Amino acid sequence: MSVAVATTTGDARPALFRGRARAPSGGPRVDWRLAAPLGLAYLVFFAAPFAILFGISFYADAEQTRLGLDSWIKFYGDLFYLKVVFDTLKLGVFAVVATTILAYPLALVFRAAGPRARQALVLIILTPLLTSVVIRTFAWIVILAREGVVNQSLMALGLTSTPLNLLQTELGLVIALTQIEMPLMLLPLLTLMSRMDQNLVDGSRALGASQARTFFKVILPLTLPGWIAGATLVFASAATAFISQSVIGGARLVYLPALIWQQSTVVYNWPFAAVASLTLLFAVLAGIMVLGLLGRFARTD
Amino acid sequence: MQRATAGDLAYRLLVRGLAGLAILILLAPVVIVVATSFTTSQTLRFPPPDLSLRWYRELFDPVRSGPIHAAAWNSVWVAGTATLAATVLTVLAALAVARVKRPSARILEAGFLSPLVLPTLSYGLAALMFFSVLGIRPSLNILIAGHLVVIAPFVFRTTLASLAGLDQTLLEASANLGASRFYGFRRITLPLIAPGILAGAFLAFVSSMDNVPVSLFLSNARTGMLPIRMWGMMESTLDVRVAAIAGVLIASTLALLLVVDRLTGLTRRMSA
Confidence grade of residue A158 (pLDDT, cut at 50, 70, 90): confident
The pLDDT value given to residue B181: 80
Mean pLDDT of A127-147: 84
The pLDDT value given to residue A5: 37
Give the CATH class of A76-300: mainly alpha
* pLDDT score of A141 more than 50: yes
Interface of B with A in 44-73 (CB under 8 A): 44-46
Instruction: Point out the residue among A125, A205, A284 whose CB comes nearest to the CB of B2.
Output: A205
Instruction: Point out the residue among B95, B129, B212 whose CB comes nearest to the CB of A270.
Output: B129
The pLDDT value given to residue A20: 46
- Domains identified in chain B and CATH numbers: 67-271 (1.10.3720.10)
Mean pLDDT of B26-44: 87
A12/B172: higher pLDDT: B172
**Highest mean pLDDT: which range of A146-160, B6-20, B82-96:** B82-96
Instruction: Yes or no: say if B175 and B239 are a contact pair by the CB < 8 Å rule.
Output: no
The pLDDT value given to residue A74: 93
* Lowest mean pLDDT, pick from A37-41, B19-23, B183-187, B202-206: B183-187
Question: Which residues on chain B are in Cβ contact (under 8 Å) with A109?
Answer: 15-16, 19
The pLDDT value given to residue B272: 60
Mean pLDDT of A255-260: 95
pLDDT digits (tens, 9 = 90+) for B99-131: 888 888 899 999 999 998 889 999 999 999 999
Residue of A nearest to B11 (CA): A212
The pLDDT value given to residue B134: 94
The pLDDT value given to residue A7: 38
The pLDDT value given to residue B22: 93
* Lowest mean pLDDT, pick from B22-31, B156-165, B213-222, B231-240: B231-240
CB proximity B98 to A under 8 Å: yes
The pLDDT value given to residue A25: 52
The answer to whether B33 contacts A139, with C-beta atoms less than 8 Å apart, is yes
Best mutation target, A85, A100, A132, to test chain B (most B CBs within 10 A): A132
pLDDT digits (tens, 9 = 90+) for B1-12: 455 688 888 888
Confidence grade of residue A22 (pLDDT, cut at 50, 70, 90): very low
Instruction: Point out the residue among A45, A143, A239 whose CB comes nearest to the CB of B32.
Output: A143
* pLDDT score of B210 more than 50: yes
Residues 6+ apart with CB under 8 A from A64: A56, A270, A271
Q: Distance (Å) from the C-alpha of residue B257 to the closest C-alpha of chain A?
A: 9
The answer to whether B267 contacts A45, with C-beta atoms less than 8 Å apart, is no
Distance in angstroms (rounded) separating the CA atoms of residues B249 and B56 = 12
The pLDDT value given to residue B148: 96
* pLDDT score of B192 more than 70: yes
Question: Which residues on chain A are in Cβ contact (under 8 Å) with B133?
Answer: 52
CA distances in angstroms from B254 to A127, A140, A179, B250, B259, listed in the order given: 8, 21, 19, 6, 9
* Lowest mean pLDDT, pick from A203-212, A231-240, A241-250, B152-161: A203-212
* pLDDT over 70, % of chain B: 96
The answer to whether A105 contacts B112, with C-beta atoms less than 8 Å apart, is no
The pLDDT value given to residue A175: 92
The answer to whether A132 contacts B185, with C-beta atoms less than 8 Å apart, is no
pLDDT digits (tens, 9 = 90+) for B149-189: 999 999 999 999 889 888 888 888 888 888 888 888 888 88
* pLDDT over 70, % of chain A: 90
Distance in angstroms (rounded) separating the CA atoms of residues B50 and A74 = 55
Instruction: Point out the residue among B96, B148, B234 whose CB comes nearest to the CB of A15.
Output: B96
The pLDDT value given to residue A300: 53
Backbone angles phi, psi at A59, to 5 degrees: -80, 140
Mean pLDDT over each residue of chain B, to the nearest integer: 88
Provide the H-helix boundaries in A13-78. 32-42, 48-56, 70-76
The pLDDT value given to residue B3: 58
**Highest mean pLDDT: which range of A124-128, A162-166, B253-257:** B253-257
The pLDDT value given to residue A23: 44
Interface of A with B in 86-125 (CB under 8 A): 101-106, 108-109, 115, 118-119, 121-125
Backbone angles phi, psi at B51, to 5 degrees: -105, 140
* pLDDT score of B23 more than 50: yes
- Please, what's the b/e burial string for B13-47 (b: 16 or more CB within 10 A of its CB; e: otherwise)? eebeebbeebbebbebbbebbbbbbbbeeeebbbe
* pLDDT score of B198 more than 50: yes
Residue B99, Ramachandran bin (φ over 0: left; ψ between -120 and 50: alpha; else beta) = left
* Lowest mean pLDDT, pick from A123-132, B6-15, B248-257: A123-132
Question: Which residues on chain B are in Cβ contact (under 8 Å) with A122?
Answer: 267, 270-271
The answer to whether B29 contacts A2, with C-beta atoms less than 8 Å apart, is no
Q: Distance (Å) from the C-alpha of residue A152 to the closest C-alpha of chain B?
A: 9
3-state DSSP of chain B: CCCCCHHHHHHHHHHHHHHHHHHHHHHHHHHHHHHHCCECCCCCCCCCCCECCHHHHHHHCCCCCHHHHHHHHHHHHHHHHHHHHHHHHHHHHHHHHCCCCCHHHHHHHHHHHHHHCCCHHHHHHHHHHHHHHCCCCCCHHHHHHHHHHHHHHHHHHHHHHHHHCCCHHHHHHHHHCCCCHHHHHHHHHHHHHHHHHHHHHHHHHHHHHCCCHHHHHHCCCCCCCHHHHHHHHHHCCCCCHHHHHHHHHHHHHHHHHHHHHHHHCHHHHHHC
Confidence grade of residue A71 (pLDDT, cut at 50, 70, 90): very high
Best mutation target, B122, B170, B180, B219, to test chain A (most A CBs within 10 A): B122
The answer to whether A38 contacts B250, with C-beta atoms less than 8 Å apart, is no
The pLDDT value given to residue A126: 82
Distance in angstroms (rounded) separating the CA atoms of residues B22 and A121 = 11
pLDDT digits (tens, 9 = 90+) for A170-220: 999 999 999 999 999 998 898 888 888 888 888 888 888 888 888 888 888
